[in-house]
Amino acid sequence: MIAPEIRAFMRVYELGGISQAARELSLSKSVVSARLGELEHAVGAKLFKRTTRKLNPTPIADSFYRNCVTIEAQAEAAWNEVKNHGGEIGGPISITAPNALLERKVAPMIGALMKTYPDLKPTLIIDDLRRDLREENIDLAITVGELEDSDLKCVRLGEFHNVLCGSEEYLSAKGVDHSPADVASLDFITAQWRLGIAAHTLKRAGGDELVIRPATTRVANSIPTMLTLTKLGAGVSILPDFLIEHELQEGSIIKLFPDYDLPATPVYAVHPYGNLAPANVRRCIDELRKMQLSRTSGSDRQVDGSAQA
């Protein structure tokens, strides 16, 4: 992997003539001759003494050739090292993801991957906001929601549904006969980044819609914190279905309006490497695509507009 002028010089030196070098390089004699002339002009020295029969290298050409052999070997070694590294799984990788996804999906995936590739050295960064991957030298981001236009490479991993829910204890105390209007009277736990959202629209399979306008009374800047507050009966909240699967199944958390769903939320893997992602990044994405982000069906104990106290 060296300059074409130097490669032409080395073949001429080794083979003793332009014609032979041209055949070796699959080039025309004129091209090889031109490259040789360009190199002599660049170094400011004559590299060959030309006779009618052959080219004789000058003393400076002998020294130059020996250095070129060393450079060619070093370039080849460097090329192979980088090429092989791109195909090996190991070494550092930095991944950022929202709190809930990192805890429930990304960290378990990385833990399992490290058993197969013990040389993998991950740095896991919790952040519910999107970070500048290039500026912060981050290899991979797991992003929730639709993406803005950018030159980053993105791979869709799946989707999940958020669930309007509350604890069994809290909803029992409030009474379970809730209409959309009644939701406004409940304590609402929201994420800090959702404070500007005044209304949420839920849809049923047949196309019917419910619009709820909860009044925020508790705020948290992480989804797991919202889950803790919800389980403790601090109010109702909107939480991702993959985070509350167990609670819904055991009935400690109840889904309001079970026939209605909030819009699906897409999940993407994003990286700054274009089509040349390192092996670490490619393998992590492959494993992340196996994540089960399917929505939960909820528990048998659910609250809708027709439920009886």
140 phi, psi to nearest 5 deg = -150, 135
CA distances from 9 to 17, 39, 166 (A): 10, 8, 77
Of 292, 294, 295, 243, the closest CA to residue 109 belongs to 292
Q: pTM score, two decimals?
A: 0.67
- The pLDDT, as a whole number, for residue 302 is 38
Mean pLDDT of the chain: 86
pLDDT at 114: 92
Q: What backbone torsions phi and psi does residue 212 show, to the nearest 5 degrees?
A: -110, 145
Rg, C-alpha atoms of the chain:
32
Mean pLDDT confidence for 198-202: 90
pLDDT tens column, 113-158: 999 999 999 999 999 888 989 899 999 999 998 888 778 899 999 9
Helices 29-43 + 18-25 axis angle, to 10: 110
For the chain, the structural domain boundaries read 4-87, 91-288
In the numeric block, which tokens belong to residue 300? 């048998």
Interstrand relation of 140-144 and 264-271 (parallel, antiparallel or unpaired)? antiparallel
CATH no. for 91-288: 3.40.190.290
Phi, psi of 263 (to 5 degrees): -60, 150
C-alpha–C-alpha distance, residues 19 and 12, integer Å: 8
Which amino acid is present at 251? G
96, with CB counted inside 10 A (0-12, 13-18, 19+), is buried
Over residues 230-254, the pLDDT tens digits come to: 999 999 999 999 999 999 999 899 9
Q: Is 124 helix (H, G, I), strand (E, B) or coil?
A: strand
**3-class DSSP assignment, residue 64:** helix
Residue in 168, 169, 203, 173 with CA at minimum distance from that of residue 185: 173
pLDDT value of position 296: 41
Q: Which CATH number fits domain 4-87: 3.30.300.30, 1.10.10.10, 3.50.30.10, 2.60.40.10?
A: 1.10.10.10
The token duo for 145 is: 């929601």
pLDDT band at 176 (very low <50, low <70, confident <90, very high): low
Would the pLDDT of 51 be above 80? Answer: no
User: Is pLDDT above 90 for 298?
Assistant: no
If one compares 78 and 101, the residue with the highest pLDDT of the two is 101
Q: Would strands 120-126 and 91-97 be described as parallel, antiparallel, or unpaired?
A: parallel
